[in-house]
Amino acid sequence: MMNLETPRKFAGLVQQAQQVATEIFRPNSRKYDRAEHRYPKELDVLAALLDGMTAAGGNSGAGAAGVRRDAVMEAGNRNGSNLSTVLGAMELCWGDVGLLLSMPRQGLGNSAIASVANEEQLARFKGRWAAMAITEPGCGSDSAAIRATAVLDGDDYVLNGEKIYVTAGERAELVVVWATLDKSKGRAAIKSFVVEKGTPGFELVRLEHKLGIRASDTAAFLLKDCRVPKANLLGDPEINVEKGFAGVMQTFDNTRPLVAAMAVGLTRACLEETRKLLTKAGVTVDYLKSTHTQTAAASEFLRMQADYEAARLLTLQAAWMADNRKPNSLQASMAKAKAGRVATEVALKCVELAGSLGYVEGESGFGLLEKWARDAKILDIFEGTQQIQLLIVARRLLGKTSAELK
């Protein structure tokens, strides 16, 4: 049975994350929001700390937590790397989402490697920063529509295609690229390949200017006859139509709770600052009274806090299930859908409640509400949009295939 209290062995990790968020992330939040595309040098000294935070939860092997179904399961409940990672992310994103996404060796590609790489690959890519490239100009939320191709030629795969919206794409050392081995075989032919930066035929095209998370770089790449060693294919090289998309999609079982955790951390930041503002304005929030007997502001705050708690618990559940080798695709999508929507709605409502104080730029406190409102939206988009998550949840609950329920 899942225990909802923070495990004692992670108390130090959470405290460290709180300290980083308070002393490094929050004070530099506005600085790198204004200095888009400039690498936050302050993060270099934190890289080893983040590695230690990940290692404290379990054997991730590649710098980020992973959902590994082939490991031997110990008796009883297990609180491992997935739970420790989401707990750390919640605290750090209370400080700044973009700065967390800029942390060396903590990219979404690292989660992909940790989830599906073999032991040799885990050792070879350990300690290296990996981004993940899925989205294409004609393929957004529907990952099965990927058109980038991979053709086996001797000891190499030759990759061709275009990838956009790659988080940390410029700064990372490796990029996990999704491509299809055979378009005619649909989802089952989609595989992921680790491409090292500097590989001939792998070209950085541009960096995007974004609404939020400006501390994090977002890149577009062109792959033109890019040769990648066979040993860099993650997972089974065989096309198994019966297994379908399960191999590469396993990555999302890990990364979606992580994004949900980011949303939970940002939501808490918004609520804490708004609570201070309400208290300063003389608004009393009474948890012992029904909402309809309180002021409109207090009633709205209680509703937002209830949504926050629901998102937090769903996120912890999805991570705990991954640590205990339980299928968590449904829970991962539920957590991502709930937390992403809550972060966006709460951030905007907090700006509304704060009025002019929430709408203008500032270095801290209420002055960051407008920034958090901009940062929040991406958490409802990347790693699968709100609409896609709800579609996945519906399919799981109704027992429908993707062909039956679109």
Nearest to 223 by CA among 157, 272, 172: 157
Q: What is the pLDDT of residue 54?
A: 52
Kindly tell me if the per-residue pLDDT of 70 is higher than 60.
Answer: no
Q: Closest Cα partner for 158 from 201, 123, 127?
A: 201
Cβ contact 191:248 at 8 Å:
yes
Spell out the residues 6+ positions from residue 133 whose beta carbon is closer than 8 angstroms to its own.
163, 166, 169, 175, 176, 177, 178, 221
Per DSSP, what are the bridge partners of residue 166? 219
Average the pLDDT over 52-79 and give the result.
53
Interior/surface letters 287-305, b for 16+ CB within 10 angstroms, e for the rest:
eeeebeebeebbbbbbebb
Work out the pLDDT band at 143, boundaries 50, 70, 90. confident
Helix H, strand E, coil C: the string for the chain is: CCCCCCCHHHHHHHHHHHHHHHHHHHHHHHHHHHCCCCCCHHHHHHHHHHHHHHHCCCCCCCCCCCCCCCCCCCCCCCCCHHHHHHHHHHHHHHHCHHHHHCCCCCCHHHHHHHHHCCHHHHHHHCCCCEEEECCECCECCCHHHCCCEEEEECCEEEEEEEEEEEECCCCCCEEEEEEECCHHHHHHHEEEEEEECCCCCEEEEEECCCCCCCCCCEEEEEEEEEEEEHHHEECCCCCCCCCCCHHHHHHHHHHHHHHHHHHHHHHHHHHHHHHHHHHHCCCCCCCCCCHHHCCHHHHHHHHHHHHHHHHHHHHHHHHHHHHCCCCCHHHHHHHHHHHHHHHHHHHHHHHHHHCHHHHCCCCCHHHHHHHHHHHHHHHCCCCCCHHHHHHHHHHHHHCCCCCCCC
- How far apart CA 64 and CA 171 sit, in angstroms, is 16
pLDDT digits (tens, 9 = 90+) for 87-142: 999 999 999 999 999 998 888 888 889 888 999 999 999 989 999 999 999 887 77
pLDDT digits (tens, 9 = 90+) for 252-288: 888 899 999 999 999 999 999 999 999 999 999 999 9
pLDDT value, residue 140: 76
The yes-or-no verdict on residue 379 having pLDDT over 80 is yes
376: CB partners within 8 A, 6+ apart: 212, 263, 266, 267, 270, 343, 344, 346, 347, 348
* CA distance readout (Å), 291 to 280, 295, 348: 20, 8, 20
What own/partner pairs with CB < 8 Å and gap ≥ 24 does 55-59 have? 56/9, 56/10, 56/12, 56/13, 56/84, 57/10, 57/13, 57/81, 57/82, 57/83, 57/84, 57/85, 58/82, 58/84, 58/323
55 pLDDT more than 80:
no
| Interacting residues of 107 by C-beta distance below 8 A, sequence separation 6+ | 64, 101, 129, 130, 131, 132, 167, 168, 172
291-316 pLDDT, tens digit each:
999 999 999 999 999 999 999 999 99
pLDDT of residue 74: 55
Q: Assess whether 383 carries a catalytic annotation.
A: yes
Mean pLDDT of 350-379: 94
162, 273, 300, 383: which one is catalytic?
Answer: 383
In angstroms, rounded to a whole number, what is the distance separating the alpha carbons of residues 88 and 261?
Answer: 9
> What is the rounded average pLDDT of the residues 321-348?
95
Q: Which two tokens stand for residue 18?
A: 């709180």
Q: How confident is the model at residue 60 (pLDDT cuts 50, 70, 90)?
A: very low
Q: CA separation (Å) from 405 to 279, 399, 400?
A: 47, 10, 6
214-236 pLDDT tens trace: 999 999 999 999 999 999 999 88
At residue 216, the pLDDT reads 96
Q: How far apart are CA 269 and CA 342, in angstroms?
A: 13
The residue ranking higher by pLDDT, 47 or 279, is 279
Q: So what's the pLDDT on residue 76? A: 64
Spatial separation of the C-alpha atoms in residues 61 and 400, rounded to whole Å:
35
The pLDDT-based confidence of 48 (bands split at 50, 70, 90) is: low
Q: Which domains does the chain have, with CATH numbers?
A: 8-125 (1.10.540.10), 130-234 (2.40.110.10), 246-398 (1.20.140.10)
Please give the share of the chain, as a percent, with pLDDT higher than 90: 70
pLDDT tens-digit readout, 144-200: 789 999 999 999 999 999 999 999 999 999 999 999 999 988 888 999 999 999 999
Query: Could you read off the pLDDT of 124-134 as tens digits, one per residue?
Result: 999 899 999 99
CA distance 205 to 164: 9
**Averaged over 21-42, what is the pLDDT?**
95
Lowest mean pLDDT among 4-8, 49-53, 256-260: 49-53
| pLDDT above 60 for 396 | yes
